Amino acid sequence: MSDVRNVLVPDGLEGERVDAAVSRLFGLSRTRVADLAAEGKVLLEGTTVPKSARVSAGDRIEVTLPAVDESPTLAVVAEPVPGMRIVHDDDDIVVVDKPIGVAAHPSVGWSGPDVLGGLAAAGYRISTSGASERQGIVSRLDVGTSGLMVVCKSEYAYSVLKRAFKQRTVDKTYHALVQGLPDPHVGTVDAPIGRHPGGDYKFAVMDSGKHAVTHYELLEAFRHASLLEIKLETGRTHQIRVHMAALRHPCVGDPTYGADPTLARKLGLERQWLHAMGLGFIHPGTGDYVHFESTYPQDLQTALDRLADMS
């Protein structure tokens, strides 16, 4: 059986091409979407469409993916990842600064680059248990979110850090540019997150969801948006994006969760303004606390500069 997924087009994707919209909504590469459209596996309001067709808000997009048992076995393929920076490397762990458009590991429906493939191409060996395509992965970042990730190189490090993430003893710091000005300027969002009932690949605050806690603090206020520092207690999928949208302050450049596409265009953004800035934990080998930091990638810095000029 095939895996059929569908979602309604949000207002923020009004007028976008099918390949761009499906890429944003389902986390697929545009090349993969183009192939699916050519095979007649992308439907817009029940009708097959070319990749260049335009979508309207409220349209239902349906995508048919090969079922897991029809797909080739997932495996890490050594492929260089341009822009991926090694922040730290030792016998136990490697910390990377992940660029956008890169997944943490291979997965069904994703044909783009991934962190494990990039590490393999650079000569790194990951030796941990679990599924081969996810070896060493103790936490992930969305394809459209840049910043710091740790990958474990040894079985012992994997066990220790996996437990640390589960017990919430890892310090995870993000910077996010959100629309408007949150009030209060410092606050906590404690709201459960689950899969959105209206479509796959989207999440929402809902009573039946999993416990999720996000702390935020205003760093700088601009005329149209605010730069926040965010610390996560939990690590749910799309947690920051969902919680900020629930406050009616979605991440700039995130139409899936209600962001204004006009502002994103003015700032030159093609993804949500969200970056994993800091990562701190007890090193599994030395027992010492270690902390790593990242700087804004060029697209986010450019958007911030343009926003400052608009204020």
Which residues are marked as active site? 142
Question: Number of C-alpha atoms within 13 angstroms, CB side, residue 221?
Answer: 11
Smallest Cα–Cα separation from 307: which of 180, 228, 222, 219? Answer: 222
Question: Number of C-alpha atoms within 13 angstroms, CB side, residue 44?
Answer: 20
First CA to last CA distance, the chain:
53
60-65 vs 42-44, strand pairing mode:
antiparallel
Distance CA 273, CA 137 (A): 24
